[in-house]
Protein backbone atom coordinates (compact mmCIF):
# COMPACT_ATOMS: atom_id res chain seq x y z
CA UNK A 1 0.00 0.00 0.00
CA UNK A 2 1.31 3.39 -0.87
CA UNK A 3 1.53 6.32 1.41
CA UNK A 4 0.98 9.92 0.47
CA UNK A 5 4.04 11.59 -0.97
CA UNK A 6 6.04 13.80 1.33
CA UNK A 7 5.19 16.92 -0.61
CA UNK A 8 1.46 16.48 -0.45
CA UNK A 9 1.75 15.53 3.12
CA UNK A 10 3.57 18.72 3.97
CA UNK A 11 0.59 20.59 2.61
CA UNK A 12 -2.05 18.50 4.35
CA UNK A 13 -0.76 19.22 7.79
CA UNK A 14 -1.38 22.90 7.39
CA UNK A 15 -4.66 22.42 5.67
CA UNK A 16 -6.76 19.74 7.32
CA UNK A 17 -9.05 21.60 9.63
CA UNK A 18 -9.48 21.13 13.31
CA UNK A 19 -12.41 18.74 13.18
CA UNK A 20 -10.23 16.12 11.59
CA UNK A 21 -7.35 16.98 13.83
CA UNK A 22 -9.50 16.64 16.91
CA UNK A 23 -11.52 13.67 15.84
CA UNK A 24 -8.92 11.53 14.17
CA UNK A 25 -5.54 13.09 13.79
CA UNK A 26 -5.36 14.15 17.37
CA UNK A 27 -6.43 10.62 18.04
CA UNK A 28 -2.92 9.99 16.83
CA UNK A 29 -1.29 12.44 19.19
CA UNK A 30 -0.34 10.90 22.42
CA UNK A 31 1.86 9.58 25.12
CA UNK A 32 3.63 6.35 25.59
CA UNK A 33 6.21 4.49 27.70
CA UNK A 34 8.80 1.59 27.60
CA UNK A 35 11.79 0.09 25.79
CA UNK A 36 12.45 -3.29 24.17
CA UNK A 37 12.84 -6.40 26.23
CA UNK A 38 10.63 -8.11 28.80
CA UNK A 39 7.25 -7.07 30.14
CA UNK A 40 7.41 -4.00 32.28
CA UNK A 41 6.30 -4.45 35.82
CA UNK A 42 6.42 -2.62 39.07
CA UNK A 43 8.66 -5.23 40.62
CA UNK A 44 11.61 -4.81 42.90
CA UNK A 45 14.20 -2.54 41.37
CA UNK A 46 17.57 -3.92 40.68
CA UNK A 47 20.40 -1.84 42.05
CA UNK A 48 19.71 1.55 40.50
CA UNK A 49 22.25 3.32 38.37
CA UNK A 50 24.02 5.30 41.01
CA UNK A 51 26.50 7.53 39.25
CA UNK A 52 27.12 9.49 36.11
CA UNK A 53 29.20 6.56 34.92
CA UNK A 54 26.37 4.07 35.25
CA UNK A 55 23.99 6.60 33.69
CA UNK A 56 26.30 6.75 30.71
CA UNK A 57 26.10 2.98 30.48
CA UNK A 58 22.35 2.90 30.85
CA UNK A 59 21.71 5.90 28.60
CA UNK A 60 24.46 5.77 25.96
CA UNK A 61 22.55 7.82 23.38
CA UNK A 62 22.05 10.66 25.84
CA UNK A 63 24.83 13.22 25.88
CA UNK A 64 25.94 14.32 29.31
CA UNK A 65 23.95 17.51 29.89
CA UNK A 66 21.25 19.07 32.03
CA UNK A 67 18.47 16.82 30.71
CA UNK A 68 20.22 13.53 31.39
CA UNK A 69 21.57 14.75 34.71
CA UNK A 70 18.14 15.84 35.90
CA UNK A 71 16.55 12.54 34.92
CA UNK A 72 19.28 10.46 36.55
CA UNK A 73 19.23 12.56 39.73
CA UNK A 74 15.46 12.17 39.92
CA UNK A 75 15.55 8.41 39.46
CA UNK A 76 18.34 8.04 42.01
CA UNK A 77 16.54 10.15 44.60
CA UNK A 78 13.20 8.33 44.40
CA UNK A 79 14.79 4.88 44.45
CA UNK A 80 17.29 5.37 47.27
CA UNK A 81 16.02 3.76 50.47
CA UNK A 82 16.04 6.29 53.27
CA UNK A 83 16.09 9.25 50.89
CA UNK A 84 13.44 11.89 51.77
CA UNK A 85 12.30 11.60 48.15
CA UNK A 86 11.99 7.82 48.27
CA UNK A 87 8.97 6.43 46.43
CA UNK A 88 7.93 2.78 46.83
CA UNK A 89 8.06 0.76 43.57
CA UNK A 90 4.29 0.42 43.33
CA UNK A 91 3.98 4.19 43.01
CA UNK A 92 6.76 4.65 40.48
CA UNK A 93 4.41 5.30 37.60
CA UNK A 94 5.99 6.82 34.49
CA UNK A 95 3.82 7.97 31.60
CA UNK A 96 5.03 8.73 28.09
CA UNK A 97 3.21 10.33 25.23
CA UNK A 98 3.81 8.36 22.02
CA UNK A 99 3.68 10.52 18.88
CA UNK A 100 6.62 12.91 18.91
CA UNK A 101 7.81 11.61 22.27
CA UNK A 102 8.65 7.97 21.63
CA UNK A 103 8.59 8.01 17.85
CA UNK A 104 8.34 10.63 15.12
CA UNK A 105 5.07 12.26 14.13
CA UNK A 106 5.94 14.22 11.01
CA UNK A 107 4.95 14.96 8.33
CA UNK A 108 1.68 13.44 9.65
CA UNK A 109 0.80 11.25 12.61
CA UNK A 110 1.71 7.77 11.42
CA UNK A 111 -1.71 6.46 12.33
CA UNK A 112 -3.22 8.86 9.85
CA UNK A 113 -1.14 7.36 7.04
CA UNK A 114 -2.56 4.02 8.08
CA UNK A 115 -6.14 5.30 8.13
CA UNK A 116 -5.80 6.70 4.63
CA UNK A 117 -4.28 3.45 3.39
CA UNK A 118 -7.27 1.65 4.86
CA UNK A 119 -9.55 3.81 2.72
CA UNK A 120 -7.50 2.88 -0.34
CA UNK A 121 -7.64 -0.79 0.58
CA UNK A 122 -11.39 -0.75 1.17
CA UNK A 123 -12.15 0.99 -2.13
CA UNK A 124 -13.04 -2.17 -4.09
CA UNK A 125 -15.87 -2.86 -1.65
CA UNK A 126 -17.18 0.69 -1.99
CA UNK A 127 -17.90 1.54 -5.64
CA UNK A 128 -20.10 4.35 -4.34
CA UNK A 129 -16.99 6.20 -3.19
CA UNK A 130 -15.85 6.75 -6.77
CA UNK A 131 -17.75 10.00 -7.05
CA UNK A 132 -16.68 11.22 -3.61
CA UNK A 133 -14.22 14.13 -4.03
CA UNK A 134 -12.37 13.20 -0.84
CA UNK A 135 -11.85 9.69 -2.14
CA UNK A 136 -10.63 11.01 -5.48
CA UNK A 137 -8.18 13.23 -3.65
CA UNK A 138 -6.82 10.28 -1.66
CA UNK A 139 -6.39 8.14 -4.75
CA UNK A 140 -4.67 10.98 -6.58
CA UNK A 141 -2.44 11.72 -3.56
CA UNK A 142 -3.89 15.19 -3.88
CA UNK A 143 -3.48 16.39 -0.33
CA UNK A 144 -4.48 19.93 -1.20
CA UNK A 145 -7.73 18.57 -2.59
CA UNK A 146 -8.18 16.34 0.42
CA UNK A 147 -7.91 19.20 2.84
CA UNK A 148 -10.77 20.94 1.12
CA UNK A 149 -12.93 17.82 1.47
CA UNK A 150 -12.49 17.12 5.13
CA UNK A 151 -16.20 16.60 5.81
CA UNK A 152 -16.41 13.97 3.10
CA UNK A 153 -13.19 12.39 4.30
CA UNK A 154 -14.32 11.56 7.82
CA UNK A 155 -17.10 9.14 6.86
CA UNK A 156 -14.72 7.34 4.49
CA UNK A 157 -12.19 6.87 7.26
CA UNK A 158 -14.86 5.73 9.70
CA UNK A 159 -16.27 3.22 7.21
CA UNK A 160 -12.90 1.85 6.20
CA UNK A 161 -11.81 1.37 9.79
CA UNK A 162 -14.89 -0.19 11.37
CA UNK A 163 -17.17 -3.19 10.97
CA UNK A 164 -14.43 -5.81 11.28
CA UNK A 165 -13.57 -7.75 14.42
CA UNK A 166 -10.80 -6.39 16.59
CA UNK A 167 -8.71 -9.45 15.71
CA UNK A 168 -9.07 -8.78 11.98
CA UNK A 169 -8.14 -5.15 12.51
CA UNK A 170 -5.15 -6.18 14.58
CA UNK A 171 -3.88 -8.34 11.72
CA UNK A 172 -4.41 -5.47 9.29
CA UNK A 173 -2.35 -3.12 11.42
CA UNK A 174 0.47 -5.65 11.77
CA UNK A 175 0.53 -6.25 8.03
CA UNK A 176 0.59 -2.53 7.32
CA UNK A 177 3.42 -1.89 9.76
CA UNK A 178 5.45 -4.59 8.02
CA UNK A 179 5.10 -3.09 4.57
CA UNK A 180 4.51 0.66 4.89
CA UNK A 181 7.46 3.02 4.71
CA UNK A 182 7.93 6.55 5.97
CA UNK A 183 7.93 9.07 3.09
CA UNK A 184 11.08 10.88 4.20
CA UNK A 185 13.21 8.12 5.70
CA UNK A 186 11.94 5.16 3.67
CA UNK A 187 12.04 3.05 6.83
CA UNK A 188 9.38 1.11 8.66
CA UNK A 189 7.44 3.34 11.02
CA UNK A 190 8.40 1.14 13.96
CA UNK A 191 12.05 1.83 13.07
CA UNK A 192 11.41 5.52 13.70
CA UNK A 193 11.25 5.20 17.47
CA UNK A 194 13.75 7.25 19.44
CA UNK A 195 16.77 5.25 20.59
CA UNK A 196 17.40 7.49 23.64
CA UNK A 197 13.83 6.90 24.79
CA UNK A 198 14.17 3.13 24.43
CA UNK A 199 17.15 3.42 26.74
CA UNK A 200 15.25 5.65 29.15
CA UNK A 201 12.32 3.23 29.32
CA UNK A 202 14.67 0.35 30.11
CA UNK A 203 16.55 2.44 32.65
CA UNK A 204 13.30 3.35 34.42
CA UNK A 205 12.10 -0.25 34.50
CA UNK A 206 15.46 -1.39 35.81
CA UNK A 207 14.82 1.06 38.62
CA UNK A 208 11.42 -0.35 39.50
CA UNK A 209 9.27 2.02 37.47
CA UNK A 210 6.17 0.79 35.71
CA UNK A 211 6.10 2.44 32.30
CA UNK A 212 2.91 3.42 30.48
CA UNK A 213 2.02 4.91 27.13
CA UNK A 214 -0.56 7.69 27.43
CA UNK A 215 -1.30 8.63 23.85
CA UNK A 216 -3.90 10.36 21.73
CA UNK A 217 -3.41 7.48 19.29
CA UNK A 218 -5.91 4.70 19.55
CA UNK A 219 -5.13 1.69 21.69
CA UNK A 220 -5.48 -0.86 18.91
CA UNK A 221 -2.93 0.92 16.73
CA UNK A 222 -0.22 0.88 19.40
CA UNK A 223 -0.74 -2.42 21.16
CA UNK A 224 0.35 -4.75 18.32
CA UNK A 225 3.93 -3.45 18.60
CA UNK A 226 4.28 -1.61 21.93
CA UNK A 227 5.55 -4.67 23.77
CA UNK A 228 8.03 -5.73 21.11
CA UNK A 229 9.35 -2.26 20.39
CA UNK A 230 9.03 -0.41 23.70
CA UNK A 231 8.70 -3.29 26.16
CA UNK A 232 5.31 -1.89 27.17
CA UNK A 233 2.61 -4.57 27.37
CA UNK A 234 -0.88 -3.89 25.95
CA UNK A 235 -2.38 -3.41 29.42
CA UNK A 236 -0.05 -0.47 29.96
CA UNK A 237 -1.12 1.35 26.82
CA UNK A 238 -3.62 4.14 27.50
CA UNK A 239 -5.07 5.72 24.39
CA UNK A 240 -8.09 6.97 22.53
CA UNK A 241 -10.83 4.40 22.11
CA UNK A 242 -13.26 3.60 19.36
CA UNK A 243 -16.59 1.95 20.11
CA UNK A 244 -16.45 -1.83 20.29
CA UNK A 245 -19.35 -4.22 20.79
CA UNK A 246 -19.54 -7.81 21.88
CA UNK A 247 -21.31 -9.98 19.30
CA UNK A 248 -21.72 -13.60 18.31
CA UNK A 249 -20.46 -14.14 14.78
CA UNK A 250 -20.85 -17.65 13.43
CA UNK A 251 -21.39 -18.86 16.98
CA UNK A 252 -18.10 -17.32 18.09
CA UNK A 253 -17.93 -14.51 20.66
CA UNK A 254 -16.22 -11.58 18.97
CA UNK A 255 -15.58 -7.89 19.50
CA UNK A 256 -16.63 -5.79 16.53
CA UNK A 257 -15.42 -2.27 15.81
CA UNK A 258 -18.03 0.44 15.60
CA UNK A 259 -17.49 3.73 13.75
CA UNK A 260 -17.60 6.02 16.78
CA UNK A 261 -14.52 7.51 18.43
CA UNK A 262 -15.64 7.27 22.05
CA UNK A 263 -12.84 8.85 24.00
CA UNK A 264 -10.07 11.20 22.90
CA UNK A 265 -7.12 10.70 25.17
CA UNK A 266 -5.49 14.01 24.43
CA UNK A 267 -5.09 17.34 26.20
CA UNK A 268 -7.42 17.44 29.21
CA UNK A 269 -8.40 13.89 28.30
CA UNK A 270 -4.99 12.54 29.31
CA UNK A 271 -5.37 12.97 33.07
CA UNK A 272 -8.83 11.41 32.69
CA UNK A 273 -7.40 8.45 30.78
CA UNK A 274 -4.71 8.06 33.43
CA UNK A 275 -7.30 8.11 36.18
CA UNK A 276 -9.47 5.57 34.42
CA UNK A 277 -6.87 3.08 33.43
CA UNK A 278 -3.99 3.54 35.86
CA UNK A 279 -5.74 4.95 38.90
CA UNK A 280 -2.59 6.49 40.35
CA UNK A 281 -0.98 9.84 39.69
CA UNK A 282 2.30 9.38 37.80
CA UNK A 283 5.53 10.72 39.29
CA UNK A 284 7.21 11.12 35.90
CA UNK A 285 5.59 12.35 32.69
CA UNK A 286 7.22 12.84 29.31
CA UNK A 287 5.58 14.60 26.38
CA UNK A 288 6.39 16.87 23.46
CA UNK A 289 3.38 19.01 22.63
CA UNK A 290 0.55 21.12 23.99
CA UNK A 291 -1.56 17.96 23.96
CA UNK A 292 0.60 16.75 26.82
CA UNK A 293 0.34 19.91 28.92
CA UNK A 294 -2.45 18.72 31.20
CA UNK A 295 -0.77 15.37 31.73
CA UNK A 296 2.37 17.16 32.86
CA UNK A 297 0.43 19.59 35.06
CA UNK A 298 -1.49 16.75 36.66
CA UNK A 299 1.69 14.79 37.29
CA UNK A 300 3.45 17.76 38.88
CA UNK A 301 0.49 18.68 41.11
CA UNK A 302 0.98 15.63 43.33
CA UNK A 303 3.00 15.56 46.53
CA UNK A 304 6.61 14.42 46.80
CA UNK A 305 9.32 14.33 44.17
CA UNK A 306 8.13 14.46 40.55
CA UNK A 307 9.49 15.19 37.12
CA UNK A 308 8.00 16.67 33.95
CA UNK A 309 9.91 16.37 30.69
CA UNK A 310 9.32 17.77 27.20
CA UNK A 311 11.00 16.62 24.00
CA UNK A 312 11.79 19.62 21.79
CA UNK A 313 12.00 18.81 18.08
CA UNK A 314 14.86 21.08 17.04
CA UNK A 315 16.81 18.79 14.76
CA UNK A 316 15.85 19.44 11.15
CA UNK A 317 18.81 17.51 9.91
CA UNK A 318 18.36 14.19 11.68
CA UNK A 319 14.58 14.38 12.25
CA UNK A 320 12.32 17.45 12.01
CA UNK A 321 12.35 20.93 13.56
CA UNK A 322 9.01 22.35 14.66
CA UNK A 323 7.27 23.79 17.68
CA UNK A 324 4.99 26.82 18.10
CA UNK A 325 3.66 27.02 14.55
CA UNK A 326 3.28 23.36 13.72
CA UNK A 327 -0.10 21.87 12.85
CA UNK A 328 1.12 18.51 14.10
CA UNK A 329 2.65 18.31 17.55
CA UNK A 330 2.34 22.02 18.25
CA UNK A 331 4.51 22.98 21.22
CA UNK A 332 3.65 26.45 22.44
CA UNK A 333 1.84 26.79 25.78
CA UNK A 334 3.58 23.74 27.17
CA UNK A 335 6.96 25.21 26.26
CA UNK A 336 6.11 28.45 28.05
CA UNK A 337 4.93 26.54 31.08
CA UNK A 338 8.02 24.33 31.05
CA UNK A 339 10.25 27.40 31.12
CA UNK A 340 8.18 29.14 33.78
CA UNK A 341 8.13 26.11 36.05
CA UNK A 342 11.58 24.73 35.38
CA UNK A 343 10.46 21.53 33.70
CA UNK A 344 13.11 19.61 31.83
CA UNK A 345 13.26 20.31 28.09
CA UNK A 346 15.18 17.86 25.92
CA UNK A 347 16.89 19.32 22.88
CA UNK A 348 16.94 16.49 20.38
CA UNK A 349 19.82 18.17 18.62
CA UNK A 350 21.98 18.68 21.68
CA UNK A 351 20.91 16.01 24.16
CA UNK A 352 20.63 13.01 21.90
CA UNK A 353 23.69 11.63 20.15
CA UNK A 354 21.52 9.29 18.13
CA UNK A 355 17.89 9.62 17.09
CA UNK A 356 16.76 6.27 15.67
CA UNK A 357 17.99 2.74 16.39
CA UNK A 358 20.71 1.57 14.01
CA UNK A 359 19.21 -1.87 13.71
CA UNK A 360 15.92 -2.22 11.94
CA UNK A 361 13.01 -3.89 13.69
CA UNK A 362 12.07 -7.42 12.81
CA UNK A 363 9.08 -7.75 10.50
**Site residues for a copy of itself per CB under 8 A:** 39, 41-43, 89-90, 93, 166, 210, 212, 219, 223, 227, 233-237, 241, 244-246, 252-255, 268-269, 271-272, 275-280, 294, 297-298, 301
Of 107 and 291, the one with the shorter C-beta distance to a copy of itself is 291
Give DSSP secondary structure letters for 57-96: HH-TTB-SSHHHHHHHHHHHHHHSTT-TT---GGG-EEEE
Q: Edge-to-edge strand order for the sheet containing 284-287?
A: 252-263, 237-249, 210-218, 93-96, 284-287, 307-312, 344-347
CA 36 to mean position of chain CA atoms: 15
Of 19 and 301, the one with the shorter C-beta distance to a copy of itself is 301
Closest CB 36 distance from a copy of itself, rounded Å:
14
Of 91 and 332, the one with the shorter C-beta distance to a copy of itself is 91
Give DSSP secondary structure letters for 14-48: HHS-HHHIIIIIGGG--B----SSS-----PPPSP
CA-to-CA distance for 211 and 215, rounded, in angstroms?
13
Q: Look at strands 307-312 and 252-263 and give their pairing.
A: unpaired
Closest CB 254 distance from a copy of itself, rounded Å:
8
Of 191 and 266, the one with the shorter C-beta distance to a copy of itself is 266
Of 228 and 318, the one with the shorter C-beta distance to a copy of itself is 228
Tell me which H or E stretch contains 107: none
Of 20 and 285, the one with the shorter C-beta distance to a copy of itself is 285
- The one-character DSSP state at 168 is H
Amino acid sequence: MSVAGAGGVQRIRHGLAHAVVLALLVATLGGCASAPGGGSTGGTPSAGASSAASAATALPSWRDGAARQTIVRFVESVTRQGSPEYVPPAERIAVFDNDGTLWSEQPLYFQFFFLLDQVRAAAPQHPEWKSNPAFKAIMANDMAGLMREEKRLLPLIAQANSGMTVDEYDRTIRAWLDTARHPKFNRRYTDLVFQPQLELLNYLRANGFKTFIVSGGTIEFMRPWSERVYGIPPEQVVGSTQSVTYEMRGGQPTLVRGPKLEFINDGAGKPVGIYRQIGRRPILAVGNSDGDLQMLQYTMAGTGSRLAVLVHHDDAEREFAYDRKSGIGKLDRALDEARARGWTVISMQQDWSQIYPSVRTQP
